[in-house]
Amino acid sequence: MTSYTELWVEKSDFRKTRVVTDQLRAIEEGEIVVAIDKFGLTANNVTYAVMGDAIGYWKFYPAPDNWGKVTVWGCANVVESRCEDVEIGERLYGFFPMSSHAILQPGKIRNDNFRDIAPHRTELPGSALYSNYRRTQREPELVQQFENERCLLFPLMATGYVLYDYLVDNDCFGAKQIIIGSVSSKTGFSLATLLHDDPSVSAKVIGLTSPGNTGFVEALGCCDQIVIYGHESSIDPGLPAAYIDMAGDAKLTQTLHNHLGDNMVESAMVGASHWEDGGPMGELPGAKPNLFFAPAQIAKRDKEWGPGEMSMKAMQATMKIAEKAKSHMQIEWVLGAEAVEHSWHNLLDNKVPGSTGIMASLLSQPE
């Protein structure tokens, strides 16, 4: 029998956590067991908890009572298999719980990927993205070399790429300035970098951040103007602006809309890194804030460019941005339940600077 270790989070109070160790149930015909040896941990995972009920992230790996298993992007080895097309020893990349092990039910098995077709997943959103597992040994060797980047940076930088593409696809909605909330986040600075480095984008890139992350953003050189929270009045209200919001801070959104008025021509809610500062925003001047859902833009491009093409472009963009940013970033490895639990609390309490990337594992030893 396989023992597992998981970190559970209470759905109504993310600071209440519980380390659970137990024996995995025996798998049934068609199922596999994976040992998850690494996953990335960032503000995005806090957002998965914040949106756990609204979008359904809690339902991917259900937990009893009011507990939830926060989802993460990671790599795993297949350690048991009752699925004849997926063998022990295969390496996977995909959407896992904060756990040492998980049970998957592969279906729609292709050469380099499969879907988890477990019945509880059929109605979940974005299944083409979240239920898709890459069989990485069948991918180009170059991609296999970037496993850590893939766990920690790809889901975020790829979103940065999708946001960039969304803006370019819409001629930046006529904006002459693009304001990025929480620009020190990996999603935020990747969007800023792509816009800033594209000579065909004439809009000014303005990054909003906190004093402690300003040095990091300056070093990245991805913004034309850096604005510290509280100094939004330094943004020119006379120019049309698009607000791409990774912070999810309701008061900040109100301040920006009130400052720009009808010149706020686009307002996209992408994330909630300031997860405790959300709330109702009421009627605001300018464009109505709309929830940005990356899978929708990916689906549009899959139709226009062919399936997988956008993902490939996003991967190439990730590698370029990661290469550019790496000398300004530190990767911190956290191993074991206590350390991962501590890092989860640090993320909640804004104690992880933008320049740090956390790679985690709950597996006691590699399998």
Ligand X SMILES: NC(=O)c1ccc[n+]([C@@H]2O[C@H](COP(=O)([O-])OP(=O)(O)OC[C@H]3O[C@@H](n4cnc5c(N)ncnc54)[C@H](OP(=O)(O)O)[C@@H]3O)[C@@H](O)[C@H]2O)c1
- Residues within the interface to ligand X (CB under 6 A): 42-44, 47, 156, 159, 182-187, 209-210, 213, 246-247, 270-275, 292, 294, 347-348, 350, 353-354
The token pair at 191 is 């969007």
Q: Are 161 and 313 in contact (CB under 8 A)?
A: yes
Cβ proximity to ligand X: between 185 and 267 the closer is 185
Cβ proximity to ligand X: between 5 and 318 the closer is 318
CA distance 179 to 261: 14
Question: Strand 290-291 relative to strand 264-269: parallel, antiparallel, unpaired?
Answer: parallel
Which residues contact residue 34 at a Cβ distance below 8 angstroms, ignoring those fewer than 6 apart? 76, 77, 78, 79, 92, 96, 101, 102, 103, 104
CB of 212 to ligand X, least distance (A): 7
Measure CA 330 to chain center: 18
Cβ proximity to ligand X: between 86 and 348 the closer is 348
DSSP secondary structure string for all residues of 125-157: TTHHHHTEEEEGGGS-HHHHTTHHHHHHTHHHH
Q: Are 111 and 135 in contact (CB under 8 A)?
A: yes
Cβ proximity to ligand X: between 135 and 196 the closer is 196
CB of 200 to ligand X, least distance (A): 24
CB of 356 to ligand X, least distance (A): 8
CB of 94 to ligand X, least distance (A): 15
Cβ proximity to ligand X: between 2 and 127 the closer is 127
CB of 186 to ligand X, least distance (A): 4
